């Protein structure tokens, strides 16, 4: 069984904060961290319970 890679940060946000959350994820990833962000990592209608 393959193990899923862990991420450094899960960024949770509401609709109004999406631009800020995306900016934060870009900054973290530019520094070498890995992130999970709903807008990038989950398809609409998918079950994204971690």
For the cut 60, the answer to whether the pLDDT of residue 1 exceeds it is no
**pLDDT band, residue 37 (cuts 50/70/90):** confident
Give the closest residue to 18 by CA, choosing from 47, 49, 35, 40.
40
pLDDT in tens, 16-33: 999 999 999 999 999 999
Predicted TM-score (pTM) of this structure = 0.70
Q: How far apart are CA 45 and CA 3, in angstroms?
A: 24
Residue 27: half-sphere exposure toward Cβ, Cα within 13 Å: 7
Q: How far apart are CA 1 and CA 13, in angstroms?
A: 32
């Amino acid at each position: 069984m393959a193990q899923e890679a862990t991420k450094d940060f899960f960024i949770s946000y509401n609709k109004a904060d999406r631009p800020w959350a995306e900016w934060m994820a870009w900054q973290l990833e530019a520094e070498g961290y890995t992130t999970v962000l709903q807008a990038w990592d989950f398809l609409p209608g998918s079950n994204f319970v971690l």
